[in-house]
Amino acid sequence: MLNDGKSNRVAVIGGSRIPFCRANTGYKDSSNQEMMTATMKAMVEKFHLHNKILGDVALGAVIKHSSDWNLSRECIIDSGLSINTPGVDMQRACGTSLETTLNIANKIALGQIDAGIAGGVDSISDAPIVYNDSFRKILLASAHGKTIQEKIKPWLGMKLRFLKPKLPGVKEPRTGLSMGESTEIIAKTYNISRESQDQLALESHEKAAKAYDEGFYDNLVHPFKGVSEDNIIRRNIAIDKLKALKTVFDKSEQGTMTPGNSTSLTDGAAAVLLSSEEWAHQNNLQIEAYLSHCEIAAIDYINDEGLLMAPAYAVSSMLKKANLDLQDFDFYEIHEAFAAQTLATIKAWESEDFCRSKLNRDDSMGSIDKSKLNIKGGSLAIGHPFAATGARIIATMARLLNNKGSGRGLISICTAGGMGITAIMEK
């Protein structure tokens, strides 16, 4: 976004989402389009957007069927918005809905549009299954055949092993390592203990449960398919239960990461409404907060830095541009892809050596007040539908700032491919 004092301020009116569910549970029969449409309908109802034409709607999903090629537009048509509202599909791995948010925000800042919706959705339960490439080629060759003989001939080379499907994976193509395996390396590099990871996970669940009990998520999380609360949250979790879990990515004595301190595979959708100040006033909508800065970074995760450490770089660059220190925030929303990744990012900012050698700073960025970190629960408890997490965090931060009445919030999200996407919100 432009920050020259001449661009429009970007207002966050608020957000909506459906509860997040562990894969193959509450939404096992729901598609991306169904979940995203439900979220959009909730937005339309909540902010009185029936039959309104918005400047644009940007949505995305990491895991998509080929039939979802125009997901945003299809969701718009069934949402209650005017059919004349355009839509665009976007994707930046786990940062997808923060990327869609910034896309809409930049258009508002430039005066191209007055208002728009950003969001994201992902279903692990309804993931597309790709068959062996040899089988795919047989199908294509047969379909392109013009005669009966030409359609039959490709099948003569068919072998039973061709029917074995290729299930979606989370391995990085350049390293062959999964996100979890990559993060185990980060944990070892930054000396992140099993105990500290389990403690962060425990606190994430406790904070999320308390937030629901106190009504923080009322009219922010909307029931869907009989689910009214994120079903990954463990209300009676105990540190002993977390300590008892076996490691999964490194099963040796050196392993530290478990299902308890790693995010669960999750289904869900989330969205936020953004606008200019003038549009908000014209439509009698309260502004919860403002988006003021953003930064995206990429690192050499193949030869140098850990896969999920890019946000450490992005935040540093963003704060320099904003002339702010790491401590100048009332709230920190740092995506908990894994407890180890969140703790390593914080430790990197605390490290004088890292900040000097990697971030070109004169000194360390210092510590954050962890009592301000993910205070309504993080991804470890709430879940992580890849493309939905950014919009969830934006909506949460907007409500936090609005409830406080003033302040500043820092958002940080790591993504596959060694990227990080960050933002600053203010009230």
In order along its 427 residues, the chain shows pLDDT tens digits of 555 567 899 999 999 999 999 999 999 999 999 999 999 999 999 999 999 999 999 999 999 999 999 999 999 999 999 999 999 999 999 999 999 999 999 999 999 999 999 999 999 999 998 888 999 999 999 999 999 999 999 999 999 999 988 777 778 999 999 999 999 999 999 999 999 999 999 999 999 999 999 999 999 999 999 999 999 999 999 999 999 999 999 999 999 999 999 999 999 999 999 999 999 999 999 999 999 999 999 999 999 999 999 999 999 999 999 999 999 999 999 999 999 999 999 999 999 999 999 999 999 999 999 999 999 999 999 999 999 999 999 999 999 999 999 999 999 999 999 999 999 999 9
Task: Give me the pLDDT at residue 4, please.
Answer: 54
Amino acid (one-letter) located at 170:
V
Domain-wise residue ranges, the chain: 130-166, 179-217+291-426
Amino acid (one-letter) located at 48:
H
Options 21, 75, 294, 414, the catalytic residue: 414
How many other C-beta atoms are found inside a 10 Å radius of the C-beta of residue 103?
18
Phi, then psi, of 322 in degrees rounded to 5: -85, -5
Active site residue 355: no
* Distance between CA atoms of residues 270 and 15, nearest Å: 7
Q: How many residues does the chain have?
A: 427
Options 94, 222, 294, 335, the catalytic residue: 94
Q: Which residues contact 101 (CB under 8 A, 6 or more apart)?
A: 58, 118, 272, 274, 291, 390, 391, 394, 423
Active site residue 94: yes
Options 205, 222, 335, 384, the catalytic residue: 384
Q: Which residues contact 13 (CB under 8 A, 6 or more apart)?
A: 47, 272, 273, 274, 275, 280, 285, 286, 287, 288
Give how far Cα 190 sits from Cα of 46, 144, 186, 331, 414, Å. Answer: 44, 55, 6, 24, 17
* Distance between CA atoms of residues 230 and 315, nearest Å: 29
Amino acid (one-letter) located at 112:
Q
Task: Give me the pLDDT at residue 1, please.
Answer: 53
pTM over 0.85: yes
Task: Give me the pLDDT at residue 167, please.
Answer: 72
CA angle in degrees (0–180, nearest 5) for 205-207-213: 105
Query: Which residue matches tokens 């109802």?
Result: 45
Torsion sign over Cα 286, 399, 5, 329: positive
Q: Which of 297, 299, 295 is nearest to 307 (CA)?
A: 299
Query: Which residue matches tokens 């180890």?
Result: 340
Assess contact for 14 and 288: CB atoms under 8 A: yes
* Distance between CA atoms of residues 383 and 312, nearest Å: 22
Task: Give me the pLDDT at residue 130, please.
Answer: 85
The CATH number of the domain covering residues in 179-217+291-426: 3.40.47.10
* Distance between CA atoms of residues 343 and 191, nearest Å: 10
* Distance between CA atoms of residues 273 and 10, nearest Å: 10
Active site residue 205: no
Torsion, Cα 5 7 13 16, to 10 degrees, reads -120
